[in-house]
Structure 1
Amino acid sequence: MMKKQILAAAIYPVIVFPLAIVWHLILFKDKYMAFGYFEGEPNIAIGFATMVIQGAVLATVYPMFKVRGTGYSRAFQFAGLLGLFFWTSHVLALVARQNVPNASTFVLMETFYLGVQFGLFALALGFIFRGEIRVNVAV
């Protein structure tokens, strides 16, 4: 189990870091600058460190996540729940604390981005933890 957790923790920044760079700093940098998403230049090292910590936390919590289903079903339930948490604390919190120009576009773009991010992570979790038997419990 520990090997799977370490692999899950490591795969999260491997998936998320390049996606975040391409999405926020290459494809849509001008949009995100206009949204006020960045104040000055982003700190890439701290962003990467944040993703490493997030990956470690998510990989630690995942084995404790008990729901009906196994494999990919369980992984997508976990990623959906935690993705929703990230969305509220990341997307909605930014719109709530500052005036974001064209907020609806920002919310749509970040919703799509986080959907891709957590969808890819769910696929990785489903693959890493494949074959693991979970006891079905009611939630």
Structure 2
Amino acid sequence: MTMVQSQRAPSNRGFWLGVAAYLVPTFPIAYVWHLVAFAPLYESLDIYRPEPIIAFGFASMLIQGLIFSWAYPRLFAGRGSEIWRPGLAYGAGLAVLSWSFTTLAVAAKNVMGSVPTFMELETGFTLLQFAVVGPLIALAHKT
């Protein structure tokens, strides 16, 4: 592989590390946030099933991790070894995208005990999640 080819094509290793950089922190953060720390508040909203299907949640995260890891080197090509700035920028972009369909759209379509409480909970979760995974995905794809 020539130098030009290696600069254009993201590495397979970086891709899988990026998937892990998304999955490894996201699953425990989501589990603790939704099912432990704020479980009573989510229960009071009365919008979720009593027993979530963990496998579906994990499958959703896996799909997201595959897409987010694939997209990173294409959106931040040529950043060299820089991690924090592009990682936080990527995390912010993903947070806005995710928030639009996991928070805004859900609040718009579902009956719930308190839309403001739901918005606060999910906004906090989204900010935490992507503040962590954005830089980790950048680190995984470090050249």
Normalising by the smaller structure, the TM-score range is 0.7 to 0.9
Is the deviation greater in 50-59 or in 118-127? 118-127
Q: CA deviation at 1:52?
A: 1.1
Q: 2:18 aligned to 8, 24, 47, which one?
A: 8
Rounded to whole Å, the distance in 1 between the matches of 2:135 and 2:18 is 11
Q: CA deviation at 1:102?
A: 1.8
Matched position secondary structure for 2:51:
coil
Q: Is the 8 A contact 1:67 1:74 kept in 2?
A: no
1:137: which partner in 2?
Answer: none
Q: Is the 8 A contact 1:68 1:74 kept in 2?
A: no
| Mapping for residues 1-139 of structure 1, pairs under 5 Å | 1-66=11-76, 70-130=82-142, 132=143
**Aligned residue identity for 1:25:** L
Describe the shift of the 1:31–1:3 C-alpha distance in structure 2 as closer, same or farther (beyond 3 A). Answer: same
Q: CA deviation at 1:127?
A: 2.4
Deviations 1:68-95 (A, max 9, x none): 9642211111111111010010101111
Query: 5+ unaligned residues in a row in structure 2: which ranges?
Result: 1-10
Is the deviation greater in 47-56 or in 70-79? 70-79
- Length-normalised TM-score, structure 2: 0.83
Query: 5+ unaligned residues in a row in structure 1: which ranges?
Result: 133-139
**Aligned residue identity for 1:54:** Q
Deviations 1:31-83 (A, max 9, x none): 11221341231001111111111101100011111489642211111111111
Identity level (%): 28
Question: If you compute each CA radius of gyration, which structure gives the higher value, 1 or 2?
Answer: 2
**Aligned residue identity for 1:40:** P
Rounded to whole Å, the distance in 2 between the matches of 1:31 and 1:108 is 11
Q: Is the 8 A contact 2:84 2:135 kept in 1?
A: yes
RMSD: 1.8
How many residue pairs get matched?
A: 131
- Length-normalised TM-score, structure 1: 0.85
